[in-house]
């Protein structure tokens, strides 16, 4: 039996129950692409932790339908929270990384303008790239049936990552192929924030590594092989989520 499709409904947390109208791009996708009909089950989310289940009560035209809600619930933020600082990647590798990490369960994905990134975000191009990452996280969140999508904030510099994320984390690690400490054996907290830093294809520069370790980050390796920047974050996130019990 197929699972009910997920759609985003802004303001779901303030909805009191009963029926609601799903329109706009989400309604159009439900009616014209998914071709939902009266009586079919749907799941709604605001992407911020509120979810609802219901059935299609009426279809109006090609871009709107009425959903009769059966249940509304609230998912509390999981602990420990997991943030991945992802170096900007060329081509579509950034979006691939965002999609995979969203499906894995990462809570925040921070674009990082590392010094060795081939791609740098500036002006209109940067705004479009950030919008793509956010859209990717939203669509991957729906696909993964998450009711709380990962946050994708504005890009950060090395100094901002060190002072704003690493310094306040319960655990922070820079993934580095020359490290001797395996992430699989590093002591992880039961609460607080876990921050993982993934460098670009050219690697983390020595001054960046120094800034992160000075702020309290450990330098860890994933395994005997070197992963690409588009896959390292997903592998590390899966390891951490499994070890902290969030996958149990």
Last residue of one domain, picked from the residues 39, 54, 74: 74
> In percent, how much of the chain has pLDDT > 90?
88
Tell me, yes or no, whether 33 and 132 share the same domain.
no
User: If pLDDT is split at 50, 70 and 90, which confidence band does 32 have?
Assistant: very high
Tell me, yes or no, whether 122 and 238 share the same domain.
yes
Q: Is the pLDDT reported for residue 2 higher than 80?
A: no
Q: Is the pLDDT reported for residue 1 higher than 60?
A: no
Q: Please write the tens of the pLDDT for every residue from 203-239.
A: 999 999 999 999 999 999 998 888 999 999 999 999 9
Tell me, yes or no, whether 159 and 57 share the same domain.
no
Tell me, yes or no, whether 50 and 151 share the same domain.
no
For position 13, which CATH number holds?
2.40.240.20
Write out the chain in H/E/C secondary structure. Answer: CCCCCEEECCCHHHCCCCEEEECHHHHHHHHHHCCCCCCCEEEEECCECEEEEEEEEEEECCCEEEEEEEEEEECCCCCCEEEEEEECCCCCHHHHHHHHHHHHCCCEEEEECCCCCCCCCCHHHHHHHHHHHHHHHHHHHHHCCCCECCECCCCECHHHHHHHHHCCCCEEEEECCCCCEEHHHCCCCCCCEEEEEECCCCCCCHHHHHHHHHCCCEEEECCCCCCCHHHHHHHHHHHHHHHCCCCC
Last residue of one domain, picked from the residues 30, 57, 74: 74
Last residue of one domain, picked from the residues 58, 74, 90: 74
Q: Please write the tens of the pLDDT for every residue from 171-211.
A: 999 999 889 999 999 999 999 999 999 999 989 999 999 99
Tell me, yes or no, whether 70 and 90 share the same domain.
no
Q: Please write the tens of the pLDDT for every residue from 86-135.
A: 999 988 999 999 999 999 999 999 999 999 999 899 999 999 999 999 99
70: in domain: yes
Rounded mean pLDDT, 150-178: 97
Tell me, yes or no, whether 58 and 128 share the same domain.
no
Give the pLDDT confidence score for residue 129 in this predicted structure.
96
- Total domain count, the chain: 2
Rounded mean pLDDT, 140-159: 96
Tell me, yes or no, whether 165 and 147 share the same domain.
yes
Range of the domain at 167: 81-244
Tell me, yes or no, whether 15 and 109 share the same domain.
no
1: in domain: no
Tell me, yes or no, whether 188 and 116 share the same domain.
yes
119: in domain: yes
């Amino acid at each position: 039996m197929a699972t009910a499709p997920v759609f985003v409904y802004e303001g779901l947390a303030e909805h009191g129950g009963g029926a609601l109208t799903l329109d706009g791009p989400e309604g159009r996708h439900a009616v014209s692409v998914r071709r939902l009909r009266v009586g079919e089950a749907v799941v709604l989310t605001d992407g911020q932790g509120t979810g609802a289940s219901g059935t299609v009560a009426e279809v109006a035209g090609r871009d709107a339908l009425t959903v009769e809600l059966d249940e509304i619930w609230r998912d509390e933020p999981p602990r420990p929270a997991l943030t991945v600082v992802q170096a900007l990647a060329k081509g579509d590798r950034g979006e691939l990384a965002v999609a995979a990490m969203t499906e894995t369960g990462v809570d925040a994905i921070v674009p990082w303008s590392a010094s060795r990134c081939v791609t740098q975000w500036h002006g209109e191009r940067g705004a479009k790239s950030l919008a793509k990452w956010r859209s990717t996280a939203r669509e991957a969140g729906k696909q993964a049936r998450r009711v709380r999508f990962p946050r994708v904030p504005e890009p950060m510099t090395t100094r901002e990552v060190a002072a704003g994320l690493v310094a306040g984390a319960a655990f922070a690690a820079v993934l580095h192929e020359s490290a001797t400490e395996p992430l699989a054996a590093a002591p992880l907290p039961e609460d607080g924030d876990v921050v993982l830093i993934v460098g670009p294809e050219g690697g983390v520069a020595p001054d960046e590594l120094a800034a992160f370790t000075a702020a309290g980050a450990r330098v860890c390796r994933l395994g005997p092989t070197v992963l690409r920047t588009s896959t390292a974050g997903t592998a590390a996130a899966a390891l951490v989520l499994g070890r902290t019990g969030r996958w149990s």
